[in-house]
Amino acid sequence: MRRNYTAIDRFIISLDGALRMATGLSEGGQRENPAGDIPDMVMDEKNRQHAAGLMRINHAGEICAQALYAGQAATARSPKVQAEMQQAANEEIDHLSWCKARLDELDSQPSRLDPLWYAGSFAIGAIAGLAGDGWSLGFLKETENQVEAHLEGHIDKLPAEDARSRAILDQMKIDEARHAQMAADSGAYDLPQPVRDLMKLTADAMKAIAYRI
Ligand SMILES: [Fe+2]
Ligand SMILES: [Fe+2]
């Protein structure tokens, strides 16, 4: 029998799932880690900490992605868009688990503010969902475009010897471009420039904080 969940039910279920995954309590990922058997080169302390800071940002970004899509799915009007949001969130689970695995290898940990990133992003996603499916898909598309551009920057910023992190980010970048295309194909509206700017500003604040804590 199919249960009908309220938006609050969905928030609690998705928060529980994401935090279990983020803290390593559940398995999550389905695809092979793209870092595969690429050698884990020894880095000096400064580079190790820098790589860990960058991967902590990417892990926090994936926590936000889980929350955004869960929030959007919770308030989506059409079952089709709801299913697409859920599908996007499922694919992001791989990204979350790969980033967590790399943070472990770098002897580091996810952002201590993960629950805050999750709650804030869920609220933003729910608002996007309430604006209607065309806008919600537009928000997804813009998010994925911005993440893709961000990953490009991080790939350049990683220490040269950190090929394992780079392999993970390369695959994520390919996936995020596909998610943006999916949203475009489903009828995403183009967001107004001020909204895009605000999204970028919010993401920049999160990145500056998550690099450190
Ligand atoms: Fe992702
Ligand atoms: Fe994505």
> How many angstroms does the Cα of residue 181 sit away from the middle of ligand 2?
10
- Which is nearest to 113 in space by CA: 60, 175, 176? 60
For 209, the token pair is 């904080």
Cα 160 to Cα 4, 57, 129, 135, 163, distances in angstroms: 50, 18, 40, 39, 7
How many angstroms does the Cα of residue 181 sit away from the middle of ligand 1?
Answer: 14
Calculate how far, in angstroms, residue 91's C-alpha sits from the geometric centre of ligand 1: 7
From first to last of the 213 residues of the chain, give the pLDDT tens digit: 556 777 677 767 766 766 665 555 555 668 899 999 999 998 999 999 999 999 999 999 999 998 988 888 888 888 887 787 777 778 889 999 999 999 999 999 999 999 999 999 999 999 998 898 899 999 999 999 999 999 999 999 999 999 999 999 999 999 999 999 989 998 899 999 999 999 999 999 999 999 999
- The residues, ordered by sequence, that sit 6+ positions from 183 with a Cβ below 8 Å of its Cβ are 84, 137, 138, 140, 141, 144
